[in-house]
Structure 1
Amino acid sequence: MSKEIKNQGTGVGAKRAAPRPYVMPETTSVPMVNDLLEPYEVYFKSPLAKLGAIKQGLHADAITDLLQVTGATQIDIARWLDITEPTLRKHIQGSRELNRGLSEHIIQLFELFDKGLDTFGSLDEFKSWLKNYNPGIDAIPFELLDTLTGISIVLNQLIRIDYGVLA
């Protein structure tokens, strides 16, 4: 990646700060995560089921499940979903279905964490990997989870790890 692209948005000649690992709470056990992911697994296997769920909208409980699976804070989840914390809390307390954009983003995050668990065999190892700079994608994977394209980049890197293609 050229220096011009790396410095884009930081001003001409600005130096890029050294990447710092993100510290994420480690509170969720694998059996509990598998139980939380189980209702969403049908969406990972069937694009039509995924599309139907997105169009219908996930129930607001999906955000609570996402918080538990990822171990991320409400601040992180709000940032990933591009909503404010008060809006996130309203969704958590509400009983309405989520809009299509939120539903799609949440399903993609569940799919990523399911794949990460499969790739690393441990949620703690996957979370550790997410927090650290990855030269294969020239970023800290955790910081890419705020867009569907970023999630796709991280997912593709997990597939590369599965096949031993790291360069």
Structure 2
Amino acid sequence: MKNYEIQEDSLNVVEEMLVPYQTYFESPVNRLQVIKGGLSSKSLNDLLLISGSTRFDMAKNLDLTEPTLRKHLGNPKELSTSLSEHVLFLLELYDKGIDTFGSIDNFKNWLPQHNIGIGAKPSDLLDSITGINIVINELNRIDHGILA
């Protein structure tokens, strides 16, 4: 029972971290507005904590060097338009993954597994917006029971 409680606590923390971003997921207009204005560098830290990724892996997914990612993490300036868009799509992906799998841990366990529906490991597609959209579409298919 104790393990379940730990899992429940981590899910609550992750869900709370995603709440400020969820209004951006609901509307393309909201999404575009925040992307053009630039997400706060705090969003990078939130993404690191939610995903459990290393800085190296996160930098790779965001097409940054690890020192550049570290610089962004320590700087309170807004992120560029392209980086804001990528970070926001990844945050939305994690939000959707939790919704589909019921826990952050189940979603994280699914990401590195080869998926027949997309012909790749979902984690290998996170370095582009198109790849993230492919993974989100696969999550939608799973939600609707379309597994092949």
Range class of TM-score, shorter chain: over 0.9
Distance 2:104 2:16 in 1: 13
State the AA in 1 paired with 2:116: P
Partner of 1:166: 147
Instruction: Select the residue among 118, 129, 133 that pairs with 2:110.
Output: 129
Partner of 1:33: 14
In the TM superposition, what is the alpha-carbon distance from 1:131 to its structure 2 partner?
Answer: 1.2
1:113 aligns with 2:94: yes
Distance 1:114 1:95 in 2: 24
State the AA in 2 paired with 1:52: Q
Instruction: Tell me the alpha carbon deviations over residues 138-165 of structure 1, each in whole angstroms, 9 at most, x when there is no partner.
Output: 1010010000000000000000000000
**What is the aligned-residue identity percentage?**
52
In the TM superposition, what is the alpha-carbon distance from 1:46 to its structure 2 partner?
Answer: 1.4
1:99 aligns with 2:65: no
Instruction: Select the residue among 82, 102, 108 that pairs with 2:63.
Output: 82
Distance 1:89 1:46 in 2: 30
State the AA in 1 paired with 2:89: Q
Distance 1:128 1:138 in 2: 17
User: Which residues of structure 1 form unaligned runs of 5+?
Assistant: 1-25
In the TM superposition, what is the alpha-carbon distance from 1:85 to its structure 2 partner?
Answer: 0.4
User: Which residues of structure 2 form unaligned runs of 5+?
Assistant: 1-6
State the AA in 2 paired with 1:72: S
Instruction: Tell me the alpha carbon deviations over residues 28-72 of structure 1, each in whole angstroms, 9 at most, x when there is no partner.
Output: 811110111011000011111110100000011110000011111
Superposition pairs of residues 130-145 of structure 1, within 5 angstroms: 130-145=111-126
Distance 2:10 2:28 in 1: 28
1:152 aligns with 2:133: yes
Other structure's SS at 1:29 match: helix
1:71 aligns with 2:78: no
Q: What is the RMSD computed on CA atoms of the aligned residues?
A: 1.2
Distance 1:92 1:137 in 2: 32
Number of paired residues?
A: 141
Partner of 1:6: none
- Looking at secondary structure, tell me which structure has more helix per residue: 2
